[in-house]
């Protein structure tokens, strides 16, 4: 490993490579800030540029920098305008946006930057030390285990449901799963629930649904509710609060530590990725918090913001394990990176670490430098980025609507998606007014296709549902899912019993 690290340092410690890392981070950060333009789009555009560099190490380092730079910067639009254009930053908006609305936009961006930096850096350390061993763990996961992993991800609905709202969250999850079935199935290649519309054969786009669930209702509610606007002077004074307190740092520290490890391990699993890591990170931290802290989730919780930001950046790093060591993409973005490797005549797999160590270790060492670059770039820019909230409401509403419509149209290049956006946006506004949580719907939509495909493959392989008890790891994951769903109810029951005993003693 020491020889590999030296080879990586030799590759990365040159002016050309450092400039490539900085350039990739800059491009990724600014693209990540724009709703609708996620890492997949920009990496696909950047592949021809990377190939012209000639050096496979330089090309992959550039594309990797764009990748984790986009995830790093994707939190900005989620926090400031509640428009998550990248799936991995959806959970960031749950507490980041309420914090920004309370006049703590600068603090929210600072927490996100520190959590992202720490998660990415710890992920790089784990990648360097445990990559060979983690390959063996990843190989143990088959379709049955991935089905159970998706169920575990769906069990996160308990984390997004308030007291007495588990049934509402379950209904929204089912609606998300139903929306995920629109279009062609990867197994049957037949259109479903398209109502005869050709434009729906490829399904509803994630960007369309994310914007409809979060950005568009926000613009509509800003128009309807005049009391939510603040004067620019008040916002400017509040934006100056950029530092986190000692208590907030103490609150963040264990969360960041746990989610760096958990997010990295989820990222290692092919097909999991940053989205599942962020949702599970949020769910786990909420469920293990005290009842008082649980009340703060969804209202600007420090834990609720730090957990998904740490987990998604650690998962991005972890996703390079199956990509480089097995040649298996861990997400849609790493699938595009796999295509770039093939175009560069690089064969990812178990022998990459020994045959071309300068590529494997060069990418790992570039992650250290890249995370430092991202932190240096983002922290000084926070006061200027946060000034977006000083824009008067009359200008902010068209700004949100413009980026929402532009992101949807660019993401799908289909005018029909705009009509779907408006319809789903109005529906989401009604749900918000009715007190229905929107996060479970998006979780169901994202995980639905993976759940369906892996369940179908498992049934075909085992000729029935016997895989549920024949594969121990599948059973363990399903039991964890059940515990994750039941834990809030058990806690509520115990709390009611304690209150009853206390009332009995007072009487």
Give me the DSSP letters along 134-151: HHHHHHT--HHHHHHHHH
- The answer to whether residue 196 scores a pLDDT higher than 60 is yes
Mean pLDDT (whole number) for 309-319: 85
Mean pLDDT (whole number) for 441-451: 79
- The answer to whether residue 139 scores a pLDDT higher than 70 is no
- The answer to whether residue 164 scores a pLDDT higher than 60 is no
For 322-355, write each residue's pLDDT tens digit: 777 766 665 667 767 777 777 777 777 666 777 7
Is 234 contained in some domain?
no
pLDDT value at position 393?
Answer: 63
pLDDT value at position 4?
Answer: 63
Is 232 contained in some domain?
no
For 19-56, write each residue's pLDDT tens digit: 998 988 888 887 777 665 566 667 766 777 787 887 88
Radius of gyration of the chain (CA): 22
End-to-end CA distance of the chain: 68
- Write a three-state SS string for 219-284: HHHHHHCHHHCCCHHHHHHHHCCCCCCHHHHHHHHHHHHHHHHHHHHHHHCCCCHHHHHHHHHHHH
Is 452 contained in some domain?
yes
User: 357-386 and 2-12 are packed helices; what angle lies between their axes, rounded to 10 degrees?
Assistant: 60
- The answer to whether residue 400 scores a pLDDT higher than 80 is no
74 against 390, higher pLDDT: 74
Q: What is the pTM of this model?
A: 0.67
Residue 138 — very low, low, confident or very high, per pLDDT cuts 50/70/90? low
- The answer to whether residue 424 scores a pLDDT higher than 80 is yes
Highest mean pLDDT, choosing among 165-169, 217-221, 330-334, 477-481:
477-481
Alpha carbons 374 and 282: distance in angstroms, whole number: 23
Is 231 contained in some domain?
no
Is 236 contained in some domain?
no
Residue 237 — very low, low, confident or very high, per pLDDT cuts 50/70/90? very low
Instruction: Report in angstroms the alpha-carbon separations of 473 from 7, 130, 218.
Output: 37, 21, 42
Is 259 contained in some domain?
yes
Q: Are 115 and 100 in contact (CB under 8 A)?
A: no
Total count of domains within the chain: 1
Average predicted confidence (pLDDT) for the chain:
77
Q: Which helix (H) or strand (E) holds 493?
A: helix 472-506
Is 377 contained in some domain?
yes
Q: What is the extent of the structural domain holding 145?
A: 1-225+243-504
pLDDT value at position 235?
Answer: 44
């Amino acid at each position: 490993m020491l020889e590999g690290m030296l080879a990586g340092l030799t590759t990365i410690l040159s002016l050309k490579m450092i400039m490539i890392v900085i350039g990739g981070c800059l491009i990724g950060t600014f693209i990540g800030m724009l709703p609708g333009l996620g890492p997949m789009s920009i990496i696909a555009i950047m592949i021809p540029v990377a190939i012209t560099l000639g050096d496979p190490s330089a090309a992959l380092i550039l594309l990797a920098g764009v990748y984790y730079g986009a995830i790093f910067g994707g939190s900005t639009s989620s926090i400031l305008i509640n428009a998550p254009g990248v799936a991995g930053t959806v959970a960031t908006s749950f507490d980041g946006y309420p914090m920004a609305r309370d006049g703590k936009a600068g603090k929210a961006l600072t927490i996100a930057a520190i959590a992202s930096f720490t998660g990415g850096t710890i992920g790089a350390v784990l990648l360097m030390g445990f990559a060979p061993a983690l390959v063996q763990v990843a190989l143990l996961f088959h379709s049955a285990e991935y089905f159970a992993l998706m169920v575990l991800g769906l069990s996160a609905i308990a984390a997004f449901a308030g007291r007495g709202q588990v049934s509402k969250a379950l209904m929204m999850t089912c609606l998300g799963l139903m929306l995920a079935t629109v279009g062609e199935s990867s197994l049957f290649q037949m259109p479903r629930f398209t109502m005869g519309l050709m434009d729906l054969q490829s399904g509803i786009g994630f960007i369309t649904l994310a914007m409809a669930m979060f950005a568009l209702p926000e613009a509509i509610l800003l128009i309807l509710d005049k009391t939510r606007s603040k004067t620019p002077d008040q916002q400017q004074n509040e934006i100056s609060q950029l530092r986190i307190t000692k208590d907030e740092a103490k609150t963040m520290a264990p969360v960041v530590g746990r989610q760096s490890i958990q997010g990295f391990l989820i990222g290692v699993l092919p097909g999991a990725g940053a989205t599942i890591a962020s949702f599970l990170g949020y769910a786990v931290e909420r469920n293990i918090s005290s009842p008082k802290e649980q009340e703060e989730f969804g209202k600007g919780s420090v834990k609720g913001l730090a957990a998904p930001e740490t987990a998604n950046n650690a998962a991005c790093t972890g996703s390079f394990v199956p990509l480089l060591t097995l040649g298996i993409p861990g997400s849609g973005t790493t699938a595009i990176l796999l295509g770039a490797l093939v175009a560069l005549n690089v064969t990812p797999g178990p022998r990459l670490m020994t045959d071309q160590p300068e590529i494997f270790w060069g990418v790992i060492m570039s992650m250290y430098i890249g995370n430092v670059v991202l932190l240096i770039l983002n922290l000084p820019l926070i006061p200027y980025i946060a000034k977006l909230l000083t824009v008067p409401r009359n200008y902010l509403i068209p700004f949100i609507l413009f980026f929402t419509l532009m992101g949807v149209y660019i993401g799908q290049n289909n005018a029909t998606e705009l009509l779907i956006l408006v319809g789903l946006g109005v529906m989401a506004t009604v749900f918000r007014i009715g007190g229905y949580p929107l996060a479970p719907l998006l979780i169901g939509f994202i995980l639905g296709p993976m759940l369906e495909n892996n369940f179908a493959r498992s049934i075909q392989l085992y000729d029935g549902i016997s895989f549920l008890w024949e594969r121990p790891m599948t059973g363990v994951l399903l039991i964890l899912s059940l515990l994750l769903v039941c834990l809030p109810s058990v806690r509520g029951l115990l709390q009611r019993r304690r209150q009853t005993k206390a009332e009995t003693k007072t009487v």
